[in-house]
Amino acid sequence: MDISIALLTIFVLAAFVGYQVISRVPPLLHTPLMSATNAISAISVVGALVTAGSDYGTVSTILGFIAVVSAMTNVVGGFLITDRILKMFKKDKNRR
């Protein structure tokens, strides 16, 4: 019971610090940071695939599958957002 409270406290603090750090990033740096985040998520996909594919038990397989789906959603969403941000910096051919 005590360990779960400690883990929950660490999770809440990490979420708070992560939000504070990300909210202070200037807009100019969003695209490079998004690309780095996509690379980290791709590494997470590999780890999740290993976990889901290993024969550690049913719970491990289910949690691995959830991790694969979550990480892939993050990767695909990150690439879509990065593409959208990069399109904002391209010149429109119809404008003068």
- CA-nearest of 46, 64, 67 to 55 is 64
Residues in the chain: 96
Cα(72)–Cα(2) distance, integer angstroms: 33
Q: What is the mean pLDDT of residues 73-79?
A: 85
- pLDDT of 6 reads 85
Q: Which residue type sits at 27?
A: P
DSSP states of 17-84 = HHHHHHHTS-GGGHHHHHHHHHHHHHHHHHHHHHHHHS-S-HHHHHHHHHHHHHHHHHHHHHHHHHHH
Cα(79)–Cα(75) distance, integer angstroms: 6
- pLDDT of 87 reads 83
Cα(57)–Cα(89) distance, integer angstroms: 48
- Reported as a single tens digit per residue, the pLDDT across 7-32 is 889 989 999 998 888 788 777 776 67
- pLDDT of 4 reads 85
